[in-house]
Structure 1
Amino acid sequence: MLFNEDFLRYIWKFKLFDMRSLQTINGEVIEVASAGMHNFNSGADFQNARIKIGDTTWAGNVEIHLNSSDWHKHNHTNDNAYNNVILHVVYKHDEDIYTSEGKLLPTLELGSRISEALYLRYHDLAYGKKQIIPCEASISTVQAVTMQNWFTRMLIERLEKKSITVIDALKLNKGNWEETFYQFLAANFGFKINALPFELMAKSLPQNILGKHKSSALQVEALIFGQAGMLEDNFKDQYPNKLKTEYQFLRSKYNLKPIEKHLWKFLRLRPQNFPTVRLAQFAAFTLVSNLLFSKILDYEEVKELRKLFSNIVVNDYWVNHYRFDAESKISSKNFGESSIDLLLLNTVSLFLYSYGKHHNQQKYIDRSLRLLESLGVESNQIVNDFAELGVKVKTAYESQALLELKSSYCNHKRCLQCGIGNEILKLNIT
């Protein structure tokens, strides 16, 4: 049989072995009252187990190995962290193990007690060749309640991870939530491919500088395009030349240093998503927003949040331009519903969750989750792949959960730690 200790730990944890007439290798009767708590840190694999061996009930730890001799290979003999082991559980007993006090360690051999059906199902998950995910042949059989419960777990795990980056940035910004939100919002205006230069631009241009010039659209646009490194060229059109003139004055006044223009990516982007267009939209949004994060904390309805990002009207120059000095067909460059949804998903919901966790206020966490439930499912390859397997989702709440499931569990074949994998493994096992 081909498996590792993780599989054996899984079998012990959920008691997925033949529990009838358990005995140590020396014939002492075993009764398992509690398998113990799975320990993911150093020390024995399971702690605080309660096991009756012979006439004595023991409370202590359980260590799992494929072979009894692994006890020595893993250097447990003289490790005090293993002094409280009351039972050694192995797949195959190949050597008697004695404690540091010279006492024979009680050992339970599971080799003949593991269902072949369970092993084959595990082997298929862990070692089978699959196109998308390890359980692609079985995931459609998993109960809806299991899927929903695991989706919730996955979403919380995803938000927990992402909120760490928010709190780290908050510390760098000396606890300023508005500035931190502004930087993350800017990064998300870049929509992945230009997230980094957008973030760098925002960090190079603090909100307090922009706030001093919100009465002048030209100056705000000049500051944003200038700090983006977009005003270093010589232009033919009047509009970019006016921006350049304004920026040269403001750059000197505030001792600003623009980011490098080469950081921005245009290749293989639809013109509507060119960074020049996104920067124009960000400038338009900056002009009409003030203390934005404070407003987000005040608004309880999704429609109110959506309204904050609606009606962003860019400078008329962009009606027939995607880049400076390059006239194009007339088309609207204003912010669309799908773009608003992405900002609500990637920035607003994350910050509501992070703020709630940081200040221990559940109402903001709940609002974050409700917001995701109100947003439509994302369109990406992972969602499409799961849909082909029969897992169809309807909200961003669920699609975000799928992204976490795929990246943190499926890609690493963590089926034994996955609620979905657990149900598949246990299905019809006798």
Structure 2
Amino acid sequence: MREDFIHYLWRFKKFDTTNLRTTQNEQIVIIKTGDYLELSGPDFFNAQMIIGEQKWAGNVEIHSRASDWYSHFHENDKAYENVILHVVWENDSTIFRMNNTEIPVLVLKDYVSEEIIASYNSLYETKSWIFCEKELSQIDDFIFKNWQERLFFERLVRKSQFVNELLLDLNNDWEAVLFCLLAKNFGLNTNGNSFLQIAKAIPFSVIRKESFEIENLEALLLGTAGLLEKDYEDVYCIDLKIRYYYLIDKYKISQSHVDAVEFFKHRPDNFPTIRLSQLANLYHSQQNLFSKMIRLNSAQSVYDLIKISASSYWQTHYQFDKESSFKSKFLSKSFLDLIIINTIIPIQFAYSNRIGESISENLISFMMGVGSEKNAILDKFESFGISSENAFESQSLLELKNEYCNKKSCLKCAIGMNLLKG
């Protein structure tokens, strides 16, 4: 039996507590099951119970088999010396503390109903995609909506951790953090890390100083990406190359290693040349961007602020020296929606936490006005009757799949726990 199921049973007392007995036939009266902290050390802290004639306060450790105590080397760990009860499914070994006193054991399977075991087995039956796929659309709407909100903020907390890491790296300069985060997300999945390396390689103080010359910004970004190294024929490319080497000498910028950017398998509008030019134009057209973005509260406010295109050269090019038919290369609304989801909302959340301001309801409202992403995971949820109408819902579903379904953490999931109740 999986340990997480035994944790669930113990945590919520899903067993017959009226006549519990240890393997030594001593009666157990549970006063408090303990705090489930999911930290290193025993599973439940500060439990209280009466075992035989003695009242105990201490910790509870849970295993599928009693012998797991030794498999996990608890016998040499002082953190387990205060365990007052060992809760197991199978009792295949006698367990002793370091002072050779025996730890009382409760074999929990003797007190769990067949119905709850059947519900558990049903929940974990092999399915084509996720365990609860057939029952998912039948979950009570109140439970599902509350769980969605929790999932949304769990995902946001994880995303904001990256923002906090950037803050440490960049001396708490929020403008520099925003620049790096935007760069990463302008690169999308394929070039995101390379674009982040490019942004980190250029001191943001230089971006500030050179923001009034769009050619200088493009030269810095494209040059750092390694896209100016060839001998080009177009005058524009030659000019950018001259500017790049002048600027890195002027500001004494060391040429850091940057992973090569990828063109392969990208639609032309997502070529790194186009995205880096658009990023340069954003910082050319907008000063003090962080102070503006932190106040945005709707998708429309983002569309109104960020009306930028690639530079004129790129209206007829996707790569240097290769002319193409004219196409205006403005940032699309769908691309800006991704910037809202992956840059603006996480940085607003991180900043509000840093200054001690609660904006949770504002962020939910903001995300409900942003279109849902489109991907295979969300398509699969829709095939099981769970659609996402906006980014708040789609982000919640992605968190559910990646952090719960994929990890088989049904007993930490509100949906799984609800189904287990029958």
TM, length-normalised to structure 1: 0.87
Q: Which residue is 1:326 aligned to?
A: 322
| Superposed counterparts of 1:123-138, under 5 Å | 123-126=121-124, 128-138=125-135
- CA shift for structure 1 position 390: 1.9
My pick for the range that moved more, 38-47 or 285-294, is 38-47
What do residues 242-287 of structure 1 show as CA deviations (whole Å, max 9, x unaligned)?
Answer: 3233334333323345567871111111111111111221121111
Q: Which residue is 1:397 aligned to?
A: 392
My pick for the range that moved more, 74-83 or 248-257, is 74-83
Segments of structure 1 that go 5 or more residues without pairing to the other structure are none
Counterpart CA distance in 2 for 1:392 and 1:287 is: 39
Q: Which residue is 2:36 aligned to?
A: 38
Q: Which residue is 1:238 aligned to?
A: 235
- CA shift for structure 1 position 53: 4.4
Residue identity opposite 2:324 in structure 1: S
Counterpart selection for 1:190 from 187, 191, 199: 187
Q: Which residue is 1:175 aligned to?
A: 172
- CA shift for structure 1 position 25: 4.3
| Superposed counterparts of 1:331-350, under 5 Å | 331-350=327-346
- CA shift for structure 1 position 172: 1.4
| Superposed counterparts of 1:157-236, under 5 Å | 157-236=154-233
Counterpart selection for 2:300 from 303, 323, 339: 303
Percent identity of paired positions between Structure 1 and Structure 2: 37
My pick for the range that moved more, 280-289 or 202-211, is 202-211
- CA shift for structure 1 position 336: 0.9
The alignment status of 1:362 with 2:358, answered yes or no, reads yes
Matched-pair contact (CA < 8 Å) for 2:299–2:340 = no
- CA shift for structure 1 position 375: 1.2
The alignment status of 1:410 with 2:408, answered yes or no, reads no
My pick for the range that moved more, 345-354 or 384-393, is 384-393
Counterpart selection for 1:351 from 333, 347, 351: 347
Matched-pair contact (CA < 8 Å) for 1:373–1:397 = yes
Matched-pair contact (CA < 8 Å) for 2:133–2:384 = yes
Cα RMSD between the aligned structures?
2.9
Count of residue correspondences:
422
Matched-pair contact (CA < 8 Å) for 1:229–1:258 = no
Counterpart CA distance in 2 for 1:381 and 1:273 is: 20
Counterpart CA distance in 2 for 1:317 and 1:123 is: 62
Counterpart CA distance in 2 for 1:213 and 1:282 is: 14
Matched-pair contact (CA < 8 Å) for 1:155–1:404 = yes
Counterpart selection for 1:265 from 248, 262, 273: 262
- CA shift for structure 1 position 161: 2.0
Counterpart CA distance in 2 for 1:164 and 1:196 is: 16
CA 1:219–1:66: 2 relative to 1, 3 Å: closer
CA 1:194–1:53: 2 relative to 1, 3 Å: same
**Partner of 1:331: helix, strand, or coil?**
coil
TM, length-normalised to structure 2: 0.88
My pick for the range that moved more, 100-109 or 198-207, is 100-109
Counterpart CA distance in 2 for 1:14 and 1:150 is: 18
**Partner of 2:210: helix, strand, or coil?**
coil
CA 1:181–1:25: 2 relative to 1, 3 Å: same
The alignment status of 1:423 with 2:418, answered yes or no, reads yes
CA 1:261–1:293: 2 relative to 1, 3 Å: closer
CA 1:30–1:333: 2 relative to 1, 3 Å: same
What do residues 176-200 of structure 1 show as CA deviations (whole Å, max 9, x unaligned)?
Answer: 1111111111111111111122112
**Partner of 2:325: helix, strand, or coil?**
coil
